[in-house]
Each structure stands twice: as C-alpha cells, then as structure tokens.
C-alpha cells in the first residue's frame, strides 16, 4: 500500500518564490556538480591505499574464529564488514588505476552481501544462522573495534594503524572536495553537503516532500524567516548527525535535513488543519482514493516516527549499503518546530488561518458595505482557503443580518445570493465550530434564522452529530424552539437513524412542556404554515388544539 501526501488541498495566496528557488538550486547543483565521482573515487583510493578494508575483515575472521566459528563461514561473512567504503557507489569506467580493482569487485561483493543479509533476516529456527548473525551484529555495532573482545586480538594493532592512515587520507580528500565527514566539519563542507545528492531518486524524494509542504509553509510567514529556518535547521541537522551519529568515514550529503526543518514549520503552522492523502493498493489496478486526516495526528505517524525509530535502531542499520541520516532529519525537524513556535508567538494569528496574507483580505472584507460584494469576496477567499472560519463567520453574519421578515423587500438576485451562501457555508461553519468545541457560537447563528426560513435549506450539509449537539445545547440553554427545529431537521434528514425513535419521543416531551404563551402559539402557527410536511407538524397541531380546547 502506498500513501502519498497531497498537501492541504487549498489554493495558494501568493507565489512560493523561496520554495521554488531552493528546488531549482538543488536541481542545478545535481546537474552541474560532478564532485560525487571525485569523492567516491577518493574514498576507494584511500581504502585501497591504506588497506583498511582488508585489515577490518581479517580482524573479523579472527574474532569469528575466537567465537568457535568455522574458517570457511567466517571468511564468507567477512564480506559484510565494509569499513572504508562509501554507502552508495556505482561501477564506472575511467577511474584512477588505484581504485579500479575495487570498482570491478564491488558488483559481486554487493550482491553477495545482499544475499547474506537476506539469509540473516530469515533465519527461522536455525541456531547456526543466529550464531553467525549475532557475531556480525556485535562486531558491526557502535564502536565495534574499541570493545575489549576485539582489542585483545592479534590483528587489532594492524587494523588501528590502517584505520588511522585511512582517516587521514579521507580527511585530506574531503578538504579538497569540500565533503562533510566527521574530521572535516566547516562552513564550506556543511553548505555543500546540503546541495549534493547521492542519486536521482534521493533528489526526487526530497523535492517531492519539499514542494508538497513547502509551498504552504511559505505562505504562513515572512519569506526571509522561512529561508533562514530552513538553512539553519538543515545545517544544524547535518552537523549533529556527522559529529555524533555517523561513522568516521561516513560522507553526509543531501537536503533531507532542510526538508525536515520545513516540515517542522508546517506541523506547527497547520497543527489544527487537515491534510489530504492519496491511498493506492498495488493489488488492485485503480488510481486510488483520497482522504483528509488531521495534521496533528497523521504527521507524526507518517513522517516523524519513522525517523525516530530509525535513529534508535541498532540492528542491521550498520550493515546497509544505503544509509539514511535519521538523526539529521530529527534534528532538522526539531529546529523547524522551535523556529515556527517562535514565529507563531511573535506573530499570532487565529488557529483557523492558513495564510498571513489573508489578514489584509479580511480587513477589506470587514470594511465592505455592499452585501453582494461582501458575499462574492468571501466566496473567493473560501475557494482559496476553505478552513478560514472567520470568513465564514463574517459572510454568514452579514447574510443573516440582511434577511428580512418579509422576503419581498429584496430583489431576486440578492435573495438567491444570500440563500446560496448560507446553503453552502452555514452548515460547514456550524459543523467546524462544533468539532472545535465552539458550540455556543454555532448555536447563535442557528438562533438567528427566522422561523419563516426552512432549516433544511441552510443546514442541508450538516451531519447527525452537529445537529444533535446544537439541539442539545439549545435545550440546556433554554431555547426550546431552536432545539425543536433542529430535532425536526434531524427527523427529516435521517429517518433510518438508530436515534430516530429516541429523538421523536424526546421532542414529544419537549412540546408538551411548552408554556401556553401567546409567543409560543404564534411561533407554532408560523412554523406549521412554513413546514406542513415536517415530522413534528402533527404534534405541533395537537399542542395548539389542546390549548384552544382549554381556552374554550
């Protein structure tokens, strides 16, 4: 199953210049920069010149024999010990003669190592398989050549000398090529590490996530702040990963830490929003289906926990040829979160806002005096950002304020515009406020609908939960007529609901408890005239008849 994020599903308020510029820079660096081949050749040259790989494998063979392993199997599994080799390499011609032999043998060794790793992952109940798996595991764990069990071996001193020569060669090579390794952390190497990518798939993966989320994150804040946090978070992530979590010969490259910093900002900025995903099942040939999920829940689940788990994993992560800088991602994400928290506390916006530029549009909307222009402008704003509750509130309030008791007072076009806006947005406004806990605000808008206005026209998109929540709220706040109209709408919309009989019985009790006042009688008569076919029409009629009989 493939779950692909599609962003927020809203239109952009302004052009994401910084996001597009950074994407172009990464693509240009990948096309123009040819230092990856130089770095790769330099690593192989340093490993071949110093003999560090052979020394490490001889050390493992002696370690394996000391654990009562068979000489043939110890030699066989020594291929998994890859000290002195880059994590991603390609077989190419025209490399220096010193590393030519290493390149030619890489294809066989890589395939052989993959076969052995697959066998270890499917040991089943074989004690022999588990025995050698544990040997390779313990030997390749963190600082394997510094443990007491390895230091006592006779080949350990040869390995230490070879490793020192190898790291010195690697450091000299990285100084010339500006590659980021533990012994060469400086401004130039950190900057270049964020521009280089190990492969085309590495670049495309980073660009996909960066464009999907970055175009929205840039909308929320100042562009210079946005760029500064991305660069700072990426640099910090690469430095922390290289200094504390990478091997001595691990070359760190890629914009993943920058992307993670941007995603940290996205998480804070849109914590209360919903994100759209596309789900595709490979066992069925179809384009997939999309769904919306809360950012606060799905974002850590899909994007953050994977890096945390990968950073804490001590299993066979050291044996994989393709290494992932999980802790660079985590550090960049935390830097983005902290930067975004500082921004939202310094420049506070309502939780339902997405774009900072909407503040100007909002002030313009509030200052309009023409109802037609106000509703049209509110519609355009909601097309760009359906999550903006404040725009819905202003538009619905204006429409309700101008609804007269006698509809003849308005022209046909403005009446149609008012009805369409309320039909499209009032139910959504009430539902979103109800979910957010603002039931009182939603109830106030429902109370403002005149009795002569049919509820089913304006709350046609409201769900069961929203209608019942608003009705119950109206009962507890002594608004029985609002509650009865909402319950009546529920009975009309959901006749097959399991709560139908319970709501109907509750409405009968509520009607019987209405006071015999002139106001209630007038409201009941008006409601019956406008809603003759409603489920509660017979009960309202019986209530009025009983009052008339008692009066007679």
User: Residue 302 belongs to a domain with what CATH number?
Assistant: 1.20.1540.10
Three-state secondary-structure class, residue 325: coil
Domain end among 462, 490, 514? 462
pLDDT tops 70 at residue 268: yes
Name the token pair of 374: 């106000």
2: phi then psi, degrees, rounded to nearest 5: -115, 125
- Give the range with max mean pLDDT: 126-130, 205-209, 531-535: 205-209
Q: Are 257 and 233 in contact (CB under 8 A)?
A: yes
pLDDT of residue 85: 55
Mean pLDDT, range 429-438, rounded to an integer: 83
Burial class (CB within 10 angstroms; exposed 0-12, middle 13-18, buried 19+) of 319: middle
User: Is 485 within the bounds of a domain?
Assistant: no
Same domain, 143 and 269: no
User: Is 183 within the bounds of a domain?
Assistant: no
User: Is 543 within the bounds of a domain?
Assistant: no
pLDDT tops 80 at residue 455: no
pLDDT of residue 93: 36
Beta-bridged to residue 279, according to DSSP, are 3, 289
Same domain, 6 and 48: no
- d(CA 351, CA 326) in angstroms, rounded, equals 31
User: Is 513 within the bounds of a domain?
Assistant: no
pLDDT tops 60 at residue 246: yes
pLDDT-based confidence at 306, cuts 50/70/90? low
Same domain, 113 and 199: no
pLDDT of residue 87: 42
pLDDT of residue 68: 85
- Count: domains in the chain: 3
Same domain, 342 and 237: yes
Q: Mean pLDDT across the chain, nearest whole number?
A: 80
User: Is 541 within the bounds of a domain?
Assistant: no
pLDDT tops 90 at residue 376: yes
pLDDT of residue 228: 96
Domain residues for the domain of 219 are 1-33+195-348
Same domain, 319 and 305: yes
User: Is 548 within the bounds of a domain?
Assistant: no
User: Is 1 within the bounds of a domain?
Assistant: yes
Same domain, 18 and 41: no
Same domain, 202 and 339: yes
Same domain, 219 and 327: yes
pLDDT of residue 82: 65
Same domain, 101 and 217: no
Q: Which residue has the higher pLDDT, 451 or 15?
A: 15
Q: How many CA atoms lie within 13 A of 71 on its CB side?
A: 0
pLDDT-based confidence at 359, cuts 50/70/90? confident
Q: Which residue has the higher pLDDT, 396 or 411?
A: 396
Strand order in the sheet with 274-280: 2-7, 274-280, 289-294
Domain end among 348, 374, 399? 348
Domain end among 309, 324, 348? 348
Q: Which residues contact 286 (CB under 8 A, 6 or more apart)?
A: 280
- Give the range with max mean pLDDT: 118-127, 177-186, 253-262, 287-296: 253-262
Same domain, 40 and 150: yes
Three-state secondary-structure class, residue 539: helix
Same domain, 63 and 158: yes
User: Is 50 within the bounds of a domain?
Assistant: yes
Tens-digit pLDDT profile for residues 310-352: 555 433 333 333 457 788 888 999 999 999 999 988 877 777 7
Number of residues that make up the chain: 552
Q: Which residue has the higher pLDDT, 444 or 144?
A: 444
- d(CA 497, CA 406) in angstroms, rounded, equals 35
Same domain, 328 and 229: yes
Three-state secondary-structure class, residue 159: helix
């Amino acid at each position: 199953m493939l779950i692909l994020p599609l962003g927020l599903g809203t239109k952009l308020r302004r052009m994401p210049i910084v996001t597009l510029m950074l994407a172009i820079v990464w693509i240009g660096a990948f096309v123009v920069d040819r230092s990856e081949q130089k770095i790769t050749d330099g690593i192989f040259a340093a490993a071949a010149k110093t003999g560090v790989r052979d020394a490490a494998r001889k050390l493992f063979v002696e370690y394996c024999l000391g654990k009562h392993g068979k000489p043939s199997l110890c030699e066989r599994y020594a291929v998994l010990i890859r000290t002195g080799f880059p994590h991603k390499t390609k077989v190419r011609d025209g490399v220096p003669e010193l590393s030519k032999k290493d390149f030619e043998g890489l294809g066989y060794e890589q395939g052989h190592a993959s076969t052995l790793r697959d066998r270890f992952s499917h040991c089943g109940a074989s004690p022999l398989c588990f025995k050698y798996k544990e040997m390779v595991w313990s030997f390749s764990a963190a600082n394997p050549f510094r443990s007491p069990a390895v230091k006592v071996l006779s080949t350990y001193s040869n390995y230490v000398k070879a490793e020192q020569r190898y790291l010195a060669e690697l450091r000299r090579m990285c100084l010339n090529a500006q590659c980021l390794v533990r012994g060469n952390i400086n401004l130039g190497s950190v900057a270049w590490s964020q521009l280089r990518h190990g492969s085309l798939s590495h670049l495309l993966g980073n660009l996909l996530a960066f464009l999907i989320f970055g175009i929205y994150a840039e909308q929320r804040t100042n562009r210079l702040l946005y760029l500064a946090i991305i660069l700072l978070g990426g640099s910090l992530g690469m430095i922390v990963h290289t200094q504390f979590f990478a091997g001595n010969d691990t070359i760190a490259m890629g914009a993943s830490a920058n992307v993670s910093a941007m995603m940290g900002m996205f998480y804070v900025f849109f914590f209360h929003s919903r994100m759209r995903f596309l789900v595709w099942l490979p066992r069925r040939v179809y384009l997939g289906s999309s769904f919306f999920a809360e950012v606060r829940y799905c974002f850590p689940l899909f994007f953050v926990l994977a890096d945390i788990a990968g950073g804490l994993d001590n299993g066979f992560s050291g044996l994989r040829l393709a290494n992932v800088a999980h802790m660079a991602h985590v550090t960049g994400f935390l830097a983005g979160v902290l930067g975004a928290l500082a921004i939202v506390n310094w420049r506070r916006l309502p939780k339902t806002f997405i774009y900072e530029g909407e503040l100007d549009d909002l002030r313009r909307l509030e200052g309009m005096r023409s109802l037609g222009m106000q509703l049209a402008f509110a519609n355009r704003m909601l097309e760009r950002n359906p999550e903006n509750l404040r725009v819905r509130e202003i538009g619905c309030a204006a429409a309700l304020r101008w609804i007269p008791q006698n509809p003849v007072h308005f022209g046909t076009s403005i009446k149609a515009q008012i009805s369409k806006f309320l039909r499209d947005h009032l139910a959504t406004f009430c539902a979103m406020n109800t979910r957010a806990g603002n039931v009182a605000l939603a109830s106030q808008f429902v109370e403002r609908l005149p009795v002569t206005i049919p509820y089913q026209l304006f709350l046609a998109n409201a769900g069961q939960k929203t209608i019942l929540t608003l009705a119950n709220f109206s009962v507890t706040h002594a608004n029985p007529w609002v509650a009865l109209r909402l319950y009546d709408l529920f009975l009309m919309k959901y006749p097959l609901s399991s709560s139908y009989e319970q709501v109907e019985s509750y409405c009968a009790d509520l009607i019987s408890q209405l006071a015999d006042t002139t106001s209630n009688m007038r409201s009941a008569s008006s409601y019956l005239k406008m809603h003759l076919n409603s489920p509660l029409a017979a009960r309202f009629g019986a209530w009025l008849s009983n009052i008339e009989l008692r009066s007679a």
